[in-house]
Structure 1
Amino acid sequence: MKPLYNKVLQVAMVVKDCDAAVKLWADKYGIGPWNIYEFNPDTVNDMIIRGEKVDYAMRLALCDIGGVQWELIEPKDDKSIYAEFLKDKGEGLHHVAFGTDNYQETVKFYKDKGLPVLQGGEWSGLTYTYLDSQKDLNLIAEIYDLVPDFDWPEPQAVYPSAK
């Protein structure tokens, strides 16, 4: 059988306070810089949770550690799967984003197994999709569908700043 996933792209943590977490990682452990973004209905299209259109919001920070992106996510409301995780489990490892040879085939694989899309949206040409692999893999799997010329948008903030 051909592997469903071919690369680890991202490891993501849910945190109570994105700015405080970024400062801890950067100031205490020297990990950064962190690009900080606001995801909300003004910046993300086609937001869904469990197949329903639901607007949600989060503040997130992205950083590269050894070729793998790390993400810190602070839910800004009680609607998202991040907020559910924070309420049920507290801060911690939330999901792993994997590379896949075919986004559509991967979504179909999960659907055929009765495993739903938990949450998703489209941000600046990147469609992100969280797949319910918790029962089998003990984690949420995220996959991306990128436009061919995807380029990361400018962050709203960077910590530490490049002064």
Structure 2
Amino acid sequence: MSQNVLGTNVITQIGILVNDIEKTSQAYAEFFGVEKPKWFWTDTVDVAQTEYMGKPSEARSKLAFFDMGSLQLELIEPDQHPSTWRDHLNAHGEGPHHIAFVIEGMKEKIAVMEAKGMKLIQKGEYTGGRYAYMDTFPQLKVMLELLENDK
């Protein structure tokens, strides 16, 4: 048996792309009988250092999070700037975008995955850590997001 590439098999989050975060978060809140979370904008490019397809991007998204026990649902409403969120929403419509895993050693994990033909699509920083979206569609039929939190 080969070694676990990510060092974990625990899915932390499912990201869902939406056109209207207010409407969709209200629908989820009503469906699950929970309070509707407040959405917020991702950081600006000077803070987030967002890169898409290897180039700086001003892309931002509205995010809303539902904590569902051991799993988090992330609703994402992207702005119009180039990003994996915008391109995926334009190409496929609303629905699942990624599954996420909390990892350690972001640079090393990206290198290992790229050596396996899993291309880095987008990366950036958030308060308390960083993220990377890896194109794992050819192998795994879904996009993976790597999340590394500061210690």
Say yes or no: TM over 0.5.
yes
Q: Within 5 Å, which residues of 2 pair with 1:47-66?
A: 47-66=50-69
- Give the TM-score normalised by structure 2: 0.88
Q: Within 5 Å, which residues of 2 pair with 1:96-115?
A: 96-115=99-118
Closer, same or farther in 2 for the Cα pair 1:94/1:8, shift >3 Å?
A: same
Count of residues in Structure 1 that have an aligned counterpart in Structure 2: 148
What SS is found at the alignment partner of 1:34? coil
Which amino acid in the other structure matches residue 14 of structure 1? L
Q: Given the alignment, which residue of 126, 134, 139 partners 2:142?
A: 139
Cα distance in 2 between the residues matched to 1:44 and 1:18: 23
Asked if 1:123 is matched to 2:126, the reply is yes
In structure 1, stretches of 5+ residues that fail to align are 149-163
Is this contact kept in 1: 2:104–2:148, CA < 8 A? Answer: no
Q: Within 5 Å, which residues of 2 pair with 1:14-163?
A: 14-41=17-44, 44-148=47-151
User: C-alpha deviations, 1:92-122, integer Å up to 9, x for none?
Assistant: 1100001335323211112223432111111
Alpha carbon RMSD of aligned pairs, Å? 1.8
Q: Identity of counterpart residues, as a percentage? A: 26
Runs (4+) of structure 1 exceeding 6 A deviation are: none
Is this contact kept in 2: 1:35–1:63, CA < 8 A? Answer: no
Which piece of structure 1 moves more, 62-71 or 110-119?
A: 110-119
What SS is found at the alignment partner of 2:59? coil
Which residue of structure 1 lines up, in the alignment, with residue 5 of structure 2? Answer: 4
User: C-alpha deviations, 1:109-156, integer Å up to 9, x for none?
Assistant: 1222343211111111310110110111111100112211xxxxxxxx
Cα distance in 2 between the residues matched to 1:84 and 1:123: 21
Cα distance in 1 between the residues matched to 2:71 and 2:35: 12
In structure 2, stretches of 5+ residues that fail to align are none
Higher helix proportion (structure 1 or 2): 2
